[in-house]
């Protein structure tokens, strides 16, 4: 009886113990960059005519062009998402001006990785609030931003 009990105990310990292989096994990790297209908000606020016009324009662009073309914008948030944010934070006129400014900054490819802080996704971090808060806000280029 003693032998059986000891055997059962030993077997159960071995059966439920964490093996070295499991403990030190290779972790599954993906190096794919997170795609922000999945987080897109297509909703429109019908009470706000400016939002309806701007959001309809952006939704059509996202659905017909951006989703097919792929996730190519070097910035986070992308230029179209920046447009939506900047209009929400300011107004249609200021927002449009800042969007065209962002668009021309997007075209400026020389040395931009030394000028903008980095987002955790690997893109350049350039959100609307940096340009819309009462006084513009400076984030050093060496910083990596962890927020969404």
Partner 1 sequence: MIKILLFVIISSNFSYSQNFHTPENRKLFADYLFCSKDYLRAVLEYEEYIKHFDNDTVLFKIALGYSKIENYNEAVKRFINISVQSDYYSSARLEYLKSKLFLEDYNSIIDFSRNNLRNNELKLISMSILLSDKNLPERNNFIFAFEDNLRTQIEDFFDHKINPPYKSPLLAGIFSTVVPGSGKLYTNQISEGLTSLVLNGLVAFLSYNNFKNDHTTRGWIFAGVGAFFYAGNIYGSAVSANIYNQRVDYEYKENVKVFLEAHNYFIERYEFCK
Beta carbon of residue 94, minimum distance to partner 1 (angstroms, whole number):
7
Question: 19 or 104, CB closer to partner 1?
Answer: 104
Report in angstroms how near the CB of residue 120 gets to partner 1 at its nearest.
22
Q: Which is nearer to partner 1, 62 or 131 (CB)?
A: 131
Query: Is the Cβ–Cβ distance between 49 and 34 less than 8 Å?
Result: no
**Considering the complex, what minimum distance in angstroms separates the CB of residue 68 from partner 1?**
23
* Nearest residue (CB) to partner 1, 70 versus 111: 111
- In the complex, minimum distance from the CB of residue 9 to partner 1, in angstroms, rounded to a whole number: 29
Q: Which long-range contacts (CB under 8 A, 24 or more apart) does 50-59 make?
A: 50/87, 50/91, 50/92, 51/87, 51/88, 54/83, 54/84, 54/87, 54/92, 54/95, 55/84, 58/83, 58/84
Residues that bind partner 1 (CB under 8 A): 94, 96-105, 107-112, 115, 130-131, 135-138, 140
Please give the angle made by the CA atoms of 87, 88 and 91, to the nearest 5 degrees: 45
């Amino acid at each position: 009886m003693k032998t059986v009990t000891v055997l059962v105990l030993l077997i159960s310990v071995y059966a439920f113990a964490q093996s070295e292989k499991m403990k030190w096994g290779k972790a599954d990790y993906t190096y794919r960059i997170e795609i922000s297209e999945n987080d897109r908000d297509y909703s429109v606020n019908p009470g706000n005519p400016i939002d309806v016009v701007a959001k309809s324009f952006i939704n059509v662009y996202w659905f017909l062009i951006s989703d097919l073309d792929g996730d190519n914008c070097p910035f986070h948030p992308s230029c179209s998402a920046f447009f939506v944010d900047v209009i929400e934070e300011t107004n249609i006129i200021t927002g449009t001006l800042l969007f065209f400014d962002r668009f021309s900054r997007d075209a400026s490819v020389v040395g931009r990785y030394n000028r903008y802080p980095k987002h955790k996704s690997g893109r350049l971090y350039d959100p609307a609030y940096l340009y819309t808060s009462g006084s513009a806000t400076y984030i050093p280029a060496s910083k990596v931003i962890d927020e969404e």
